[in-house]
Amino acid sequence: MGDKTMGQFAISMPQLGESIAEATLLRLKVKPGETVEADQEVAEVETSKAVMSVTTSYGGVWKEWKAKEGQSYPVGTVLGYVEVAGREESKGIKKSPDGGRKVQPKEKEGKKKIHSNGENGNGKGVLPTIQGLPVPARAAGASYLSPRMKARIEELGLHAADLAGLAPSGAKGRVTIEDFERFMLDLEKQKLTPASSMRVAVADAMRRSWLRPLATVGRTAGMDALLAHRKKHPAKPGPTLYAVRALGIALAENSLPAGRLVGSRIVHPGSIDIAFAVEAEDGVLVPVLRRVNETDLNTLAALYAERMKQAKERKIPAEGLGGSVAVVTNYGTFGLDWATPIPLPEQSLVLGLGAGKKVPEWDEKTQSFQPKTVAPLTLSFDHRVIDGGAAGRLLARVAELLESPEKL
C-alpha cells in the first residue's frame, strides 16, 4: 500500500441478542496477509439460535487473528485486526475494540440473511467504550449530529445515547467534531472500567426497548389467601410463580395485550410463554416457562426451580431462552414498593410485584379495621398496543386470580 497512512481496526465478537453473552467461533475465512474488501465475510460464529457471519466494514489487509476456531468467546472479545490504508485514528484516542465490523446472521436451515440485533437494519453490534462515567452537570447533550459526526461515532462503536453528557459548542446545539474529540480525550482522563458482556447486552436491549412509548399502571392485591395457599402447597411456590401463572391465565383469556405491533397489524402470541427476572452478576437473566396457561402450578413449581438453578449457574438451555410474551419481576425482594420496569424488545408487557405489607382495612361486618397483607402490582406496557384501560383491566384480572389462588 505504499506510503499511505495505515490504520488498524479491531473486529470483535458481535452482540448477538439480549440473552446471549458468548458464541463459538466456527470458521476463520481469511488468513493474515490476505486482502479483504468492505463487507466481506471474515468469520462465522454460532449461538444456540443461529449461525452468523462477521464482516468487516473496511477494505484492506487482514493483519492477524487473536481467536481460534472451535472456542467460545464473550461478546466484545477482539477476534482479529484489519489494516486499512488512508485511515488513521485520532491522536490521543484509544482504539475502539469494535470499530468497523458488521454482523449478519444466517439461518441454520436456509440461505436468507437477517440482521442480528434489529438495529435500523445496519447489522452493527454494540460495544460501548464509555459507560456510566461522570459528566459535567451543565452538559445539555447533543441535539444534532452531522453525517460526519454520525460516521465517526459509528466508527468507534458508540451510540448517540453514550454522548448524553457532551456539551455542544456549535450553532443550535450542533456537536462539532472538535467537541467530540475533546469529549473523548477528557474521558480518557477518568477512571475507566470495561463493561461486561452482560452489561452491554442489557444496555442494548433497554436502548432498543426505549424507542417505544411505554407506560405503567398500578394497583394493590390482597396476599393473605395466597400466603395461606402457599403454606399448604407441597412445593411452596413463591409469589413470583403465582404471578406468572395468574398472568398466563389472564392472557389466555385475552391475548391482545401480549401482542406486538408490526406495521399496521398486531401479532398475537401463539403460545403463552412467560419469563421471570433473575438477578445475575452485573445484569439480569430472564429464563422462560412455556405454555404457562396450560401448566398447573405444581408442574410449574418444578420447572421454575430448575430454571432458577440454571440461571444462577448461567447455564440456561436454548429451550429456556427467548420467545416469551411477558416478564414477571419481583422487585419486592429488594424492599421496593413501586417500580417501572421496561419490557424487553421482543415483549409488550412486564408485570412487577412490590413488597407485601400489613395494612389496616375497614371491615363493614365488624365495623372495625382488620389487618390485611397487600402487595403493589405494576404493569408496564407498550402504549402502541393497548391503552391504560386495557392495561388496568388486565392488571385487575391478575389481582383477582392472586386473591383466589385455588384457581391457579
Q: Which of 97, 124, 151 is the last residue of a domain?
A: 124
Q: Which of 89, 107, 124 is the last residue of a domain?
A: 124
Say which CATH number the domain at 25 has: 2.40.50.100
The closest of 320, 328, 341, 326 to 238, measured between CA atoms, is 328
**Is 230 a domain residue?**
yes
Q: What is the pLDDT of residue 247?
A: 97
**Is 81 a domain residue?**
yes
**Is 373 a domain residue?**
yes
Both 227 and 373 in one domain: the answer is yes
What sign does the dihedral 171-177-178-183 (CA atoms) show?
A: positive
Q: What is the pLDDT of residue 122?
A: 37
Both 44 and 140 in one domain: the answer is no
Give me the residue label for grid cell 506510503: 3
Both 182 and 323 in one domain: the answer is no
**Is 238 a domain residue?**
yes
When pLDDT is averaged across residues 133-158 and rounded to a whole number, the result is 62
Residue 115 has pLDDT above 70, yes or no: no
Torsion of CA 357, 363, 366, 371, to 10 degrees: 0
The total of structural domains in the chain comes to: 3
Both 116 and 217 in one domain: the answer is no
Both 167 and 148 in one domain: the answer is yes
Task: Provide the greatest CA pair distance for the chain.
Answer: 95
Residue 202 has pLDDT above 90, yes or no: no
- DSSP β-ladder status, 35-36 and 60-65: antiparallel
Both 120 and 135 in one domain: the answer is no
Say which CATH number the domain at 364 has: 3.30.559.10
When pLDDT is averaged across residues 55-61 and rounded to a whole number, the result is 82
Both 226 and 311 in one domain: the answer is yes
Residue 387 has pLDDT above 80, yes or no: yes
Q: Which of 106, 124, 142 is the last residue of a domain?
A: 124
**Is 205 a domain residue?**
no
Question: DSSP H helical segments within 221-329, as ranges?
Answer: 224-232, 239-253, 297-312
Give the residue numbers spanning the domain of 155: 129-194
- Which are the contacts of 124, defined by CB distance < 8 A and separation ≥ 6? 102, 103, 117, 154, 157
Both 269 and 183 in one domain: the answer is no
Both 330 and 368 in one domain: the answer is yes
Question: 157-188: per-residue pLDDT in tens?
Answer: 787 777 777 777 776 667 788 888 888 888 88
Residue 358 has pLDDT above 70, yes or no: yes
Residue pair 288/302 in contact (Cβ under 8 Å)? The answer is: no
When pLDDT is averaged across residues 214-238 and rounded to a whole number, the result is 94
**Is 207 a domain residue?**
no
Phi, psi of 242 (to 5 degrees): -60, -40
**Is 204 a domain residue?**
no
Of the two residues 51 and 219, the one the predictor is more confident about is 219
Both 114 and 17 in one domain: the answer is yes
Both 266 and 311 in one domain: the answer is yes
Question: 288-329: per-residue pLDDT in tens?
Answer: 999 999 999 999 999 999 999 888 888 888 888 888 999 999
**Is 136 a domain residue?**
yes
Dig out the grid coordinates for 242 from the structure: 403465582
Both 112 and 145 in one domain: the answer is no
